[in-house]
Structure 1
Amino acid sequence: MISDNDIVKLILGFKIKHLRLKKGISYQALSEQTGLSVSYLNDIEKGKKYPKPDKIRALATAFEMDYDDLISTKADKKLLPVIELLNSGFFKYFPTEEFGFNVEKIIDVFSNAPDRISAFISTILKMVRSYQIEKEHFYRVALRSYQDMHDNYFEDLETAAKEFRKEAKLAVVPSVDSLTTILQKEFSIKLDIHSLARNEKLKTFRSYYSAEKKTVYLNEHLDDEQKRFLLAKEIGFQYLKLTERSYETNLNKEASFEKLLSNFKASYFGAAVLMDADDFVKEIEKMAVSTKWKPELIQSLISKYQVTPETLLQRMTNILPKHFGIDNLFFIRLDGREGLIDYQITKELHLSGLHQPYQNQLSEHLCHRWVSISSIKNLKTQKQPFYIDAQISEYWQTDNAYFCISIAQPSRFDNQNGSSVTIGLSMNESLRGAFNFIKDSNLRKRTVHTTCERCSISDCEHRVAPPEIIDRNNLESELENELKKL
C-alpha cells in the first residue's frame, strides 16, 4: 500500500514520462533543457522524487505548457483513465507487494502503451460503475484470489498457532474458560458477555472489541462453539500483533484490504488453534478409510473439536490441499430467504479456478438441486439443530462433477430462515485416491446447474424461475437463422 504523497509523485512522474515520449525527447535532451540530471529525471518519472517548484517550471517550459497544468491531475483523454485509477485509492489500499509486483513497474507499463492500457482501464472503471461494485467487494475478491494463490494454506500462521498452543499448554480442545483466562493474563483483556445482548440496537452483534477499554464483548446468546472461535480469533489479533484491524465481527464499509487481510489471518490462526493441523490430518485420514459415506463422519469431527460447521469446513479447505493433494475445491455459505425460494451466497472461496456455484450479482435464482439448498429445506422439515448431507453434483451437459458436503443450520436471530455451509471437491483422481467412500454406490448423484434462468433442463421439478436467458438465446438463434434464409 502507498500513501497519498506517493500517489501525487506517481501521477506527476507518469505525466512527465508520457509527455517526454510523446514529444520524442530523450533523457539527455531533457536534461540539457532543464538543467536536471538524467538520474534525477529518471527518479521523477518513477515516482521516487517530487521536484521543487523551480524545477517543475523548467520542465513545464521544456514541454511548452503551464506550470499549473503540469502539476494538476488534468491530462489528455488518453491519460485520464490511468490518472483516475491512481486517484481512486486502489493503489493506496491494495497491497501490491502481497501479489508480487510493485507500482513502479505498473506505471512503466502504463507509460509505454498509454492508448491500449487507458482503454482497458476505462473499460474496467465503467463496468465497476455500471454494476455498482464497491471497493469493499473488490477487496474481498482480491483476498479470495490471494488465498487461491497460496492454496489457502499459510505455513507462517500454522507455525504461529502451533507455537501458541505449546506456550499456552492448551488442551486438544481448549475451553471457553481457558481462552478467556489467556486473554486476561497474557493480554490484559477482559470479557463482557452481557452488554451486547441487553442493548436493543446491538443485540444481533456477535462480538465487539474495545481497544480503549481492552474488553471483548460477546453476545451471551452465542453457542460455546461460536464463543470459542471468537475468543481464539481475538487471541490471534493480539498474538500476531495485527493493529490494522476491524473491531466488530462483521467488517464495516470502511474496511480496507489490510483490515480484511488481518481479519483473515486472525480467523485462520483461531481455527488452527482450535484444530491443530497434525491432529486434524489424523482425523481426516481415519475418515478417508471408510468405504461408505455417512453423516456421522462429519458429526464426529464437529463433536470432537466442538466447533461450528463453518469453522470445520473452512479448516478442511486449509488442510486438504496441503496434506491430501485435493486443491480443486470450493467453499460457500448460503443464506435462505423467507419462503425458501431465494438464496444468496454470502461467502465463497474457489481454489484452482472458478467453480459452480458462484455468487451472482444479477438477482438470478440459484439451482435448487444443489445440496447447499436441499440441506436447508430438509433442516426445516426435520427441525434438527443442524443437518448434514452430501451428494455428487454432476453439472448439466458437462464433465464437471463435485462431491459436496453441506451442513445446514437455522438462523440464530430469525427462526424463519436458515443457512448452510458447503465444501465441494472436484471429482478427479486425487479425490478418488484420497477417500474410499467416494466409490460408495449409494452416494446420491444429482444433475445441477447454476441458476434457473440459465438452465435448459425441461422437466426440472425444482425450478423456481423460467429459463429466461436460455429462451432469449434461443430466440436470437432463430432470428439469425431466419436472416440467413433471406
Structure 2
Amino acid sequence: MPSTVELATLGHRIRHHRLRIGLTLDELGAQVGVAGSHLSLIENGKREPKLSLLQQIAKATGTDVTDLLSAEPPNRRAALEIELDRAQASTIFQRLGIPPVKVTKGISDETLESVLGLHRELQRREREAIATPEEARRANTELRLQMRTKNNYLPEIEKLAEKQLKAAGHGSGALTHRTVSIMAEQLGFELIYVNDLPHSARSVTDLENGRIYLPPASIPGGHGLRSMALQAMAHRLLGHQPPTDYADFLRQRLEINYYAACCLMPETAAVAFLQQAKKDRNLAVEDFRDAFGVTHEAAGMRMTNLVTQHLGIALHFLRVDGSGAISRVYENDGLPLPADVTGAVEGQVVCRHFSARSAFAEQNRTTEHYQYTDTPAGTFWCATQTGATSDGEFSITVGVPFDDAKWFRGRETPQRATSTCPDESCCHRPDPDLTARWAGKAWPSARVHMQMFSPLPRGAFPGVDDSEVYAFLDKHAAE
C-alpha cells in the first residue's frame, strides 16, 4: 500500500494539473467517469486511485501517469501542505491534544511556513530531550540487569581489545601512553593534548582530520588519559552511530568503558594474575591495581568482568559518596541493596553499617578496610578503600558472600557488623530515647543538593555543548 505521504503527493499533483487547465472537480470527474466527490478524496490523499483511473486523469489533464506518480511535490505550496500533514500526524504533535490546522486557500504560504517552523522546533526539542530522569533511571537499571545476566562479561569486546593490543606490540605489564598512541595511529588518529578542551566534553574526536583531542598530559592521575583515549577509539572500533535515545547512549558509554578496561587490564594477563592469586588465597584489589598501573576503582570494576566468568566467584562492587549514596554499582551475589520503585539503585543510600560507609571512620585510609556484615540475605565479606576528589570523599568496595572470603586477603579480620536494612529501625529511624528527648526541639538547616533542580542533560550526546565543541574543532582544524 502507498504511504500517506505518497498518496498526499499524488493528490497534490493531480490537483495541480487540474487547476493548470482550469477544470473543476466535477468537470474533470465527468471526463474520467467518476463523481467530483470521489476525485476530492483522491486529491486530499484519502483514497488510492486505480491505475486505469490515473491513466484517464493523465490523458484528460495533458500529462502522463509517470508525472502524476512522481515523488516530488508539484510546487512549493504543495510541499508545505504535505509537510504540515505529516507533522500533524506525528505522535509528538498528537499527544499534545491540540486540534490540527485545517489548510484552506485563504492560509498564506507565510503562515504555513510559520506553523511548520513551530513543528520543526518541537521535533528538534523532542530529539534533544531524549529521556526524562525517570526514563533514564529505568534505562540504566535495565542495562545493569542485562549485564548481570552476562556476569558483566562481554567476550566480543575482550577479543577486540586483545587483537588491538597485539597489533600495537603490547605484550605484558602496564599499558604505556606510547602504546596507546600507536593504537590510535593504527586507526588513523593522532592524539593531541590541549588546554582549551570544551568543558562539557572529556575528549573530542575530529573525524575529518583524524585527531583525538585530550586534556593536557600534566593533569594529575595520568591513568585517566589512557582511558579517555581508548574510549574515544572504541567508538570507532565498535561502529557506534549518534545515540538514538538515552538507553543507546548508556549502552555506548558502557561499551567504551569496557573496551578501555580490557586494554588497560587485558583478559589473558589479568585472568592469569587473578587465578594465581586465588590459588594462593591472596586475592586483593590493591594487588590487581598495582600490577596493571590503574586506579583502585578501575581494578575493582574490572574484577566484576572476570572473577565470576573465570574464577566462579559471585561478587559486588560499590562506589559510594561521603553521604552514603551509591554512584556506581554491580552485584550478582545477592547483596541486599536499596532501590526505588523503578528498580534503580544509583542515588540510594546504603546502610550505615555497610563497610562502604563505616570505612570513612577509619583513621588509616592508605590500606583497605575489611569487614564481615550480617544481612537478611546472609553474611558478606568486603574490602573497602576510601579516597577523595574535589567533589568530596568516596569509597570503593568489592565484596563476596561469606563462603568465598577464603580466597581473599583480609579474611581474618575480626571486624563485624549487622545490618537489618531495609528495616527502617536498622539505621534510618532515630533511637526512641533520642526521639523522645529531641522531637519538636530541633530545626536543622538542610543542605540542598543543586542536582535536584538540574534538568537531565540534553542533546544527541547528553550534556555536551555542541556550539562549544564545533567552535573548538574549527579553531584547531586551522592549526
1:261 offset after TM fit, Å?
A: 1.1
Distance, in Å, in 1 between the alignment partners of 2:383 and 2:416 is: 13
The equivalent of 2:46 in structure 1 is 53
Does the 8 Å contact 1:192/1:218 carry over to 2? yes
Q: Does 1:323 align with 2:307?
A: no
Distance, in Å, in 2 between the alignment partners of 1:316 and 1:185 is: 29
Residues 382 and 442 from structure 1, CA distance in 2 versus in 1: closer, same or farther, beyond 3 angstroms? closer
2:380 pairs with one of 383, 398, 402: 402
Q: TM-score, normalised by structure 1?
A: 0.56
Letter in 2 for 1:346: S
2:330 pairs with one of 332, 343, 349: 349
Q: Which has the higher contact order (CA 8 A, sep 6+)?
A: 2
The equivalent of 1:11 in structure 2 is none
Residues 332 and 186 from structure 1, CA distance in 2 versus in 1: closer, same or farther, beyond 3 angstroms? same
Gaps of 5+ in 1: 1-5, 9-51, 57-70, 76-87, 94-127, 246-253, 337-341, 458-462, 472-486
The equivalent of 2:228 in structure 1 is 230
Q: Does 1:391 align with 2:380?
A: no
Q: TM-score, normalised by structure 2?
A: 0.56
Q: How many residues of Structure 1 are paired with residues of Structure 2 in the alignment?
A: 320
Distance, in Å, in 1 between the alignment partners of 2:258 and 2:345 is: 28
1:306 offset after TM fit, Å?
A: 0.6
Distance, in Å, in 2 between the alignment partners of 1:361 and 1:156 is: 28
Q: Does 1:309 align with 2:299?
A: no
Does the 8 Å contact 1:375/1:406 carry over to 2? yes
Residues 399 and 188 from structure 1, CA distance in 2 versus in 1: closer, same or farther, beyond 3 angstroms? closer
1:267 offset after TM fit, Å?
A: 1.2
Between 1:363-372 and 1:235-244, the stretch displaced more is: 363-372
Does the 8 Å contact 2:161/2:259 carry over to 1? yes
SS state at 1:134 partner: helix
Does the 8 Å contact 1:409/1:420 carry over to 2? yes
Counting aligned pairs with the same residue, the percent is 18
The equivalent of 2:318 in structure 1 is 332
The equivalent of 1:13 in structure 2 is none
Distance, in Å, in 1 between the alignment partners of 2:418 and 2:412 is: 16
Residues 188 and 425 from structure 1, CA distance in 2 versus in 1: closer, same or farther, beyond 3 angstroms? same
Deviations 1:169-190 (A, max 9, x none): 1142211122123324532233
After superposition, residues 63-462 of structure 1 pair within 5 angstroms as 133-172=133-172, 173-196=174-197, 202=199, 206-211=202-207, 214-218=211-215, 220-244=218-242, 256-291=246-281, 297-327=284-314, 329-336=315-322, 342-351=323-332, 355-356=336-337, 366-378=350-362, 381-382=363-364, 384=366, 387-395=367-375, 398-411=376-389, 413-414=390-391, 417-428=392-403, 431=404, 435-437=406-408, 440-450=411-421, 454-457=423-426
1:193 offset after TM fit, Å?
A: 4.2
1:134 offset after TM fit, Å?
A: 2.7
Distance, in Å, in 1 between the alignment partners of 2:388 and 2:416 is: 25
Does the 8 Å contact 1:373/1:420 carry over to 2? yes
1:321 offset after TM fit, Å?
A: 1.5
1:421 offset after TM fit, Å?
A: 1.9
SS state at 2:254 partner: helix
Distance, in Å, in 1 between the alignment partners of 2:418 and 2:250 is: 36
Letter in 2 for 1:345: I
> In angstroms, what is the RMSD of aligned CA positions?
4.3
Residues 140 and 358 from structure 1, CA distance in 2 versus in 1: closer, same or farther, beyond 3 angstroms? same
Distance, in Å, in 2 between the alignment partners of 1:211 and 1:137 is: 31
Does the 8 Å contact 2:381/2:411 carry over to 1? no
Deviations 1:386-416 (A, max 9, x none): x422222211xx25222222222111x24xx
SS state at 1:221 partner: coil
1:298 offset after TM fit, Å?
A: 2.9
Does the 8 Å contact 1:365/1:464 carry over to 2? no
